[in-house]
Structure 1
Amino acid sequence: MKRAAIALLVLLTASCKGDRQDLSAAAPDAASAAATRIEADVRFLADDLLEGREAGTRGHELAALYVAQRLRAIGLSPAGDGGSYYQRVPLLRATRVADGGRLVITRHGASTALTFREQFLPALNYNGGDMAVEAPAVFVGQGVHAPELRHDDFRGVDLRGRIAVLFAGAPASFDPDRRAFHSSTREKLRELSARGAVGAVFVDTDADEARSPWSRAMQAWDKPGMCLRREASPLAGRAADGGGIDTFPQLRVVAHVSAAAADAVLAGDGRSAAQLFRAAKDGTLKPFALPGTIALAARTAIVPVTSRNVVARLPGSDRALASEHVLFSAHLDHVGIGAPVDGDRIYNGALDNALGVAVMLEAARQLAALPRQPKRSLLFVALTAEEKGLLGAEWYARHPTVARGSLVANVNMDMPMLLVPTDDIVPVGLSHSTLEPLVRRAAKEVGVALSPDPFPEQTIFVRSDQYAFIRAGIPAVYLTAGTDATHARDDASLAMQVFLRDHYHQPSDDVTQPIQYPDAARLARLNARIGALIGDAAQRPAWHRGDFFGERFGRTATPAPTSAQ
């Protein structure tokens, strides 16, 4: 099997260099060849041989080898650790152990134990194998502290030594940027930990489970998760303790409860879970103490593992600007082998995200074939462990393999749902920075329209790898599939919704999906043109003055333009 894989690598990479071309247009033959190359990459990366490409597994290592050799054949230089194409990413892998999970509600002298899997699941715990806590509980709405919007779900309650009970999301009245930021589980856990909570219970709603059914959580209850692992740092004088990074150890146990069991947890002031959720979204809910106590317990098997980012560089043509870098990213991992669905246990991840990686590889090929390279250098990074919480991107943002501060922009590709032919793409995050005019110019030159995010409620701007770079202060844009169908018979938005409902993170996300490879070739050309424009721009991209993410994480620049995405 290993020899067969290597032979296939040779066949697929032997002819990856193409004729030099203008990125703003593509002749029919060139576009067809690009579509064929992208399809070939997807078919390899989403093959059963790679076993779903889960971070830290043999399948992911084979995928990383393939991408590294594709980048080498294209002509890009290694830009990983020690002159290689790889950056080592240290991780902890945690797996739930069923017989250690417990959630018991004690009120008015009676106890109610929820059923493991069917009604609740402990979150993965990276701080200890056996953890337990029993304490009074406080309901804190959606766990949002946004003083600039005069909203505080913690007003008037003391969380010290208590268990926080909360919903996901953020109030509907928030603008999309703040709603995205405050919907982040990481930010919620940070707020709870800072206020002295010792545990947390996230309660699902019917709306949550319409997007991600509880049955999927039950199906994947024993799937491992990961966090970044601390290692020795001679420069910082820190010893290696092997512990997790950003794991909030003060929260001894965190659990998730199904919508069907929500009323059992939230009973206390006469309102149903549905009524409380409506009040939380409306911003009219006041936090309150729940009667009695909640006991939580979790048992977790924890082991250290290692995975790899793949990193390559196309040097810039300008002596001064070549020290700056435009970073293209796409996550290489998927979710691996899991519970069988119709007899299939391999979760191939064709759209998520073999297609994104293939588009990035084609953009790299086109940029490498230009008669003159962009003035700034270009980095191409196939990231690991996105499915585990953007971990490969987080590690690279913290430990870049190029000079710290030299990253000027990120162009990310993740799960482009190219399921019907369209005339547009969606550039998520376009309005935040001075990347906007460059993206608009590139789209005009390539001949593709730009459309707004069709699902802003899903807050995808903080749910893919670009967010790790945004948190490091780097302006970013995330390109995904459009919604303007070329043919009247097609409905692109409906096709996306069906994919998310029936195929996302399922074995059926494979090459039998109706992937529109000509649209993928156009998307690669757009990526390449955007990268070339950023690379040649007189000024580094910067956040617009007053932008929420720019104010929180980065440096500001010009006032935001009046045009909307």
Structure 2
Amino acid sequence: MFIKNHSIYLLSVLLVLSCTSESEKLESALQSISVQDIQARIETLASDDFAGRAPSTPGEVKTINYLAQQFKEIGLKPGNGESYFQEVSLIKIYADKSMVFNISNGKKKLSPEFAKEFIGGTPQIGDYIMVDNSEIVFVGYGINAPEYGWNDYEGLDVKGKTVLMLINDPGYATSDSTLFEGRTMSLYGRWTYKFEEAARQGATAAIIIHETGAAAYPWGVVQNSWYDSKLYLEDNMFLKSDLQLQSWVTTECAQKLFDLAGVNYNEISVSASKRGFKPVKMNVTASVSIKNKVEYAKSNNVAAVWPGKDKSDEYLIYTAHWDHFGVNPAFEGDSVLNGAVDNATGTAALLEIAEAFTKLAKQQDRSVLFLAVTCEEQGLLGSEFYAKNPLFPLEKTVGVVNIDALNILGKTKDMTITGMGKSNLDHYAVSVLEKYGRYAAPDPMPEKGGYFRSDHISFVNAGVQALYLSRGVDNVEHGKKWGMEQTEKWIVENYHKPSDNYEPEKWDFEGMIEDLKIYFEVGYLISNAK
């Protein structure tokens, strides 16, 4: 009995000593993560001097040079040979705000007002783009998903036609858990997928009907994203397609279109979410002419490496997008979209975490790549480019930790794993959160499709394990209901608007700092995992 108890005692002591030793290894690193540092870095990145950090602008030059200089001063090596930059070749297509978009039934005509009722542009590079009396077909949700037994295009030839479709997917519309992923938006609910599928099907034009709940953001977000210009990777699928127009219309405009066609909008929208739905020929046509202005542009991902020790040829990647929307004169008064929360905070986090790794008492086993990507706001283009053109082999990339918008509302009991259960990296986050007396929670608003709206998904699509860990909502002081309400309030009032400013007098940094330490410790565990 004595020997047994003594053995248990010795094991307990060894465990305590092991934990103590591990804590000592991390102590200097964790102490380096400070309110003063993160504030200074966010303030710089979100300043008017950086002009909203739009790709391929003077604001980009200032942003990427600042990041490269910071990484260099911290002590990280360039991630691309002798350079901190990975050049991304782009096509920039400006919106033709004078374009005339007409919908006709032969007797009456509907001409929606640009930006107010409809918005969009061409993905093609010709000087003059024309769609002439293209037959409009309502294709429900515009989805072809064999694994779900769903094909809105079945038996339909849309070559030369304009496809009209709803945003999100039937699971969201019906809350039916047997359809797609129920209320959780699937890949097929994303606007990017819908335009791509329309192109694959051979359509001439595509129109998405906006609805705030289903899209997960108000019309103003769509306006801002499409009002000035759109960026595409130089090698993109649309150039090889016949798709001449990508566009959105408001719900109100869609109702007018359906009235013009003599079709009941509400009834047909409901039927589109049921199995067996058949496309509806609207007996109206779409016409548009676009004077195209195209530029070939360059942007940059910023890459910096902290080398590992025993497994230095293997990599953990931390990602955050540095870009935002620049300056938009359509906003009266303050027209600079500084993107303080989205995503100056996440970009500053890369610098904080990088510095913490340099303070470790013992170097981690694997190398850590800090990757600040461009063009997330344009459709995850920077991360897509990296995944197709990796600086380090993807088969040697053990995982990705993505950071997109930090917590400004104070300490929470939880942190969110968006896409919880989809990655084998989840348990690292769960373990670290438990150490801090906190818990991991799934996305509280899965209907918004967050899993498909940030840069980790580019790596997932390339077969790399990725963890999208983000701020929690279960506020320590005010509770979960308050946290949800405040998060939703912030989205409505500030998301992709000039009001997303750095406001230290309003922000609570205590939760942000603890979250940063958790991000660091999660990466530390992954970088040393056996």
TM tier relative to shorter chain: 0.7 to 0.9
Q: How far apart are 1:193 and its partner, in Å?
A: 2.4
Cα gap change, 1:114/1:57 in structure 2, threshold over 3 Å: closer, same or farther?
Answer: same
Q: How far apart are 1:502 and its partner, in Å?
A: 0.6
Quick check: 1:501 aligned with 2:492?
A: yes
Residue aligning to 1:492 = 483
Q: Give the counterpart letter for 2:180 in structure 1.
A: F
Quick check: 1:190 aligned with 2:196?
A: yes
Cα gap change, 1:97/1:246 in structure 2, threshold over 3 Å: closer, same or farther?
Answer: closer
Q: How far apart are 1:178 and its partner, in Å?
A: 8.1
Cα gap change, 1:38/1:23 in structure 2, threshold over 3 Å: closer, same or farther?
Answer: farther
Cα gap change, 1:33/1:166 in structure 2, threshold over 3 Å: closer, same or farther?
Answer: closer
Aligned mates of 1:193, 1:285 — CA distance in 2: 21
Q: How far apart are 1:430 and its partner, in Å?
A: 3.1
Tell which deviates more after alignment, 454-463 or 480-489. 480-489
Q: Give the counterpart letter for 2:229 in structure 1.
A: P
Quick check: 1:440 aligned with 2:430?
A: yes
Residue aligning to 2:395 = 405
Residue aligning to 2:70 = 70
Aligned residues of 1:126 and 1:247 also touching (Cα < 8 A): yes
Q: Give the counterpart letter for 2:152 in structure 1.
A: D
Aligned mates of 1:487, 1:224 — CA distance in 2: 43
5 Å matches for 1:113-192?
113-134=111-132, 135-172=134-171, 173-175=179-181, 179-192=185-198
Cα gap change, 1:206/1:447 in structure 2, threshold over 3 Å: closer, same or farther?
Answer: closer
Deviations 1:232-282 (A, max 9, x none): xxxxxxxxxxxx555553111222111111023234775432333333345
Aligned residues of 2:410 and 2:512 also touching (Cα < 8 A): no
Aligned residues of 2:420 and 2:442 also touching (Cα < 8 A): no
Quick check: 1:229 aligned with 2:228?
A: no
| CA root-mean-square deviation | 2.6
The SS at the match of 1:83 is coil
Which residues of structure 1 form unaligned runs of 5+?
A: 1-19, 231-243, 539-565
Aligned residues of 2:74 and 2:358 also touching (Cα < 8 A): yes
Residue aligning to 2:103 = 105
Aligned mates of 2:224, 2:146 — CA distance in 1: 39
Q: How far apart are 1:77 and its partner, in Å?
A: 1.0
The SS at the match of 2:458 is helix
Aligned mates of 1:474, 1:176 — CA distance in 2: 26
Aligned residues of 1:329 and 1:380 also touching (Cα < 8 A): yes
Q: Give the counterpart letter for 2:161 in structure 1.
A: R
Tell which deviates more after alignment, 486-495 or 393-402. 486-495
Q: TM-score with structure 2 length normalisation? A: 0.87
Deviations 1:24-54 (A, max 9, x none): 9769x96696122111110111111111111
5 Å matches for 1:520-559?
520-538=512-530
Aligned mates of 2:27, 2:362 — CA distance in 1: 18
Give % identity: 28
Aligned mates of 1:103, 1:125 — CA distance in 2: 16
Aligned mates of 2:363, 2:138 — CA distance in 1: 56
Q: Give the counterpart letter for 1:493 in structure 2.
A: M
Cα gap change, 1:249/1:496 in structure 2, threshold over 3 Å: closer, same or farther?
Answer: same
Question: Which of 299, 321, 335 in structure 2 is aligned with 1:331?
Answer: 321
Q: Give the counterpart letter for 1:203 in structure 2.
A: I
Q: Give the counterpart letter for 1:488 in structure 2.
A: H
Aligned residues of 2:129 and 2:244 also touching (Cα < 8 A): yes
Tell which deviates more after alignment, 379-388 or 199-208. 199-208
Q: How far apart are 1:139 and its partner, in Å?
A: 0.9
Deviations 1:277-324 (A, max 9, x none): 333345564312111322233333111111111101111111xx3211
Tell which deviates more after alignment, 103-112 or 380-389. 103-112
Aligned mates of 1:247, 1:283 — CA distance in 2: 33
Aligned residues of 1:171 and 1:283 also touching (Cα < 8 A): no
The SS at the match of 2:518 is helix
Aligned residues of 1:442 and 1:526 also touching (Cα < 8 A): yes
Q: How far apart are 1:417 and its partner, in Å?
A: 4.2
Q: How far apart are 1:190 and its partner, in Å?
A: 3.0
Aligned mates of 2:219, 2:429 — CA distance in 1: 38
Residue aligning to 1:213 = 218
The SS at the match of 2:203 is coil
Residue aligning to 2:50 = 50
Aligned mates of 1:155, 1:23 — CA distance in 2: 62
